[in-house]
Amino acid sequence: MEKYYITTAIDYVNGAPHIGHAYEKILTDIIARHYTQRCDDVYFLTGTDEHGIKIQKTAAAQGITPKELCDMNAKKFKDAWKALDIDYKKFIRTTDEDHEKIVQKIFDKLLKQGDIYKHSYEGLYCQGCECFLNPKDLTEDGLCPDHMKKPEVVKEENYFFKLTKYKDILIKYIKEHPDFIVPEFRANEVLNQLEDIQDISVSRAKSNVQWGIDVLSDSEQSIYVWIDALSNYITALGFDTENPSDTFKKYWPADVHVIGKDILKFHSIYWPAFLMALDLPLPKHIFAHGWITIDESKMSKSLGNVISPTSVLESFNLEHPDAFRYYMASSAPCGRDGNYSDNDFKEKVNAHLANSMGNLLNRTLSMLVKYFDGEVKPEFKGENPLAKKALGTVQIVKNHFDNFEIAEASLEIISLVDATNKYVQDNAPWTLAKEEKMIECGQVLTNVLDIMCIISTLIYPYCPNIAADMARQLSFNLKTKLDDLTADNIKTGKLISKEDIKPVFLRVDSELADKSAKK
């Protein structure tokens, strides 16, 4: 694998980031970090979507300009991702000058080649969805099913994209590429939507929407959200209709777009059609994740259960975001909805990260110091009965990531931790030491520490700080590629001293972990 290009959806900046935004960015960051363990060149793109009527109206209500609102909220997203250790390569904003210029050229090219035409239209427009809806898509009460609001009747002369021109080729492509849309069951939804697809509006009249990118050849029209927003995946790489950059040529097509299931239609129908019209290859995969509920209830401002991702870190006084990252990533099977609750968070991260994984390393190193002064002797090295399961787990984890099964992969890692804990209990190195079977005792401890090196590598994408602490105490190179892992990782000689043994993760309800408990 020479390169890996991964993107998130770009977040709309009429509000601050919440836990749903964080879920997507954490999933994507974990996938990106995993692939850094398999290739040397990973490009991770995220950013913000900053045009449209909602921005215009929100800014007006706050008495500021749309650009001031975008600048303020884009910073909030950047700050949140920094707090969560989201390690992106580039953060694109659709108000970036180079993005706007390329979007204008894309629109102009499609217009000149006949894929875009001007047309008078009257339809039902949902501001929340930023699109026109068919009456059959509404609830019995005439409401948008996603936003539970009545769409407004809009009559305008706009530019339209000939989506119907690409209907049959899109249906054929999706049927012939069963892994294009992940999870696969979502493909049936898309195929059903394609049956009734119509040409789509790709501009709005300036009289209604001023905050947008101007159509080059028509000063009375703004380029509408989907050509603007979706094009970020190629404009960020330096795509140009006349002379694409070397960066674009190197990374496109994307290996995967990670998006929420609510915008699957736009990514699996609109975006591929735009790309076909531009004569560009399609992304390899579109991974549509589910939603995150709060205590089993859908997030809603009216319910007051919208959670800021950084508020979880603050409320539990977490030194780094690893526990939150692990919990969110393991909260739902591939493409399904997940749930966040404080109690479940505490129970899960304490059980997996503190009691199972952290304690396993801590007590094994402590026994090595107690019985052997922290030294691994040559006679401790030999055949490791845990090797087959550990190296098999590496392959299983890789397979899960290839299918974007991030939660499933985390369970395999914890299964390896559990198996290693069982090995310790079954072989009881403390009993071997008591019986003065010191070589056997040293062999058990060394076998465990060799496997802990593999565990540190596997858990790294989820918990980069914990993994780094583990690797440091094991004197292990965390940059080891997955295909280069062996079950012989611990070097002979002095490994660690008593004062260098530190818990890699404290229970979140302990006095040490939760400083508020001391008050």
Q: Return the pLDDT at 125.
A: 79
Q: How far apart (Å, rounded) are the C-alpha atoms in residues 73 and 364? A: 47
User: Is 441 assigned a catalytic role?
Assistant: no
Q: Is 250 designated active site?
A: no
Of 245, 302, 295, 6, the closest CA to residue 102 belongs to 245
Closest CA to 236 of 391, 88, 386: 88
**Residue 67 is among the residues annotated as catalytic for this protein:** no
At 334 the pLDDT is 94
Say which of 21, 34, 51, 267 is annotated catalytic.
Answer: 21
Catalytic choice (70, 126, 453, 463): 126
CB atoms within 10 A of CB 210: 12
Q: Which of 18, 25, 78, 289 is catalytic?
A: 18
As a whole number of angstroms, the distance between CA 500 and CA 491 comes to: 17
**Over the Cα atoms of the chain, what is R_g?**
26
Contact present, 125 and 131 (Cβ < 8 Å) = yes
CA gap 85, 27 in Å, rounded: 12
The reply to whether 494 belongs to the active site is no
| Per-10-residue mean pLDDT, the chain, length 519 | 96 92 97 97 98 93 96 97 98 98 98 95 76 79 83 87 97 97 96 94 91 94 93 98 96 98 97 98 98 76 70 90 96 93 94 96 98 97 96 98 98 98 98 98 98 98 98 97 96 96 86 42
| pLDDT reported for residue 224 | 86
CB atoms within 10 A of CB 242: 6
Q: Which domains does the chain have, with CATH numbers?
A: 322-518 (1.10.730.10)
Using a 10 angstrom Cβ sphere, with 0-12 exposed, 13-18 middle and 19 or more buried, the burial of residue 332 is: buried
- Residue 108: the pLDDT is 97
Which is catalytic among the residues 82, 112, 175, 298?
A: 298
The contacts of residue 380 (CB under 8 Å, 6+ apart) are 439, 442, 443, 445, 446, 492
Catalytic residue among 70, 131, 144, 441: 144
Catalytic site includes residue 126: yes
- In the prediction, which pLDDT does 300 show? 59
pLDDT at res. 309: 86
pLDDT, position 146:
76
State the DSSP string of 125-157. EETTTTEEE-GGGS-TTS--TTT-SPPEEEEEE
Q: Phi then psi for 447, rounded to 5 degrees?
A: -60, -45
Residue with tokens 């007590």: 363
The whole-angstrom separation of Cα 367 and Cα 195 is: 65
Q: 301 an active-site residue? A: yes
CB 28 within 8 A of CB 6: yes
From the candidates 82, 119, 147, 494, which is the catalytic residue?
A: 147
Catalytic-residue membership of 21: yes
Among 129, 441, 453, 463, the one annotated catalytic: 129
pTM of the model: 0.92
Candidate list 136, 301, 518, 519, residue with the active-site label: 301
Residue 117: the pLDDT is 97
